[in-house]
């Protein structure tokens, strides 16, 4: 498979074809940095010597690793929201001196 074909597959499932826009103009600002990130990950991990199955696995694995990293960030932010809400709720329950 060619890199162009792999990117075409990815672009076909990404909303609004924005992955393809970044492929065509990586330096451009098309308003979706996630699409740019996906395009760059696919480009960076592509091995033209590998067979089609391995190319798909490599692309999938690159996106899977990115998902793990994004999930770690999301979980940390989520946990901090829960902690801050608990602290605020506790403060709201404390009696206030008049």
| Tens-place pLDDT, residues 21-42 | 888 887 888 888 999 999 999 9
For 36-78, the DSSP string reads HHHHHHHHHH--TTS-HHHHHHHHHHHHHHHHHHHHHHHHHHH
Whether 19 contacts 35, CB under 8 Å: yes
| Tens-place pLDDT, residues 42-51 | 999 999 999 9
Q: Where are the domains of the chain?
A: 3-93
pLDDT value for 72:
98
């Amino acid at each position: 498979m060619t890199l162009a074909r792999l990117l075409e597959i990815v672009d076909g499932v990404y909303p609004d074809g924005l992955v393809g826009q970044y492929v065509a103009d990586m330096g451009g600002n098309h308003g979706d940095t996630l699409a740019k990130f996906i395009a760059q990950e696919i480009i960076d991990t592509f091995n033209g010597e590998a067979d089609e199955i391995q190319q798909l696995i490599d692309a999938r694995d690159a996106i899977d690793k990115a998902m793990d990293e994004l999930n770690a960030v999301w979980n940390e932010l989520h946990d901090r929201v829960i902690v801050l809400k608990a602290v605020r709720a506790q403060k709201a329950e404390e009696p206030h001196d008049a």
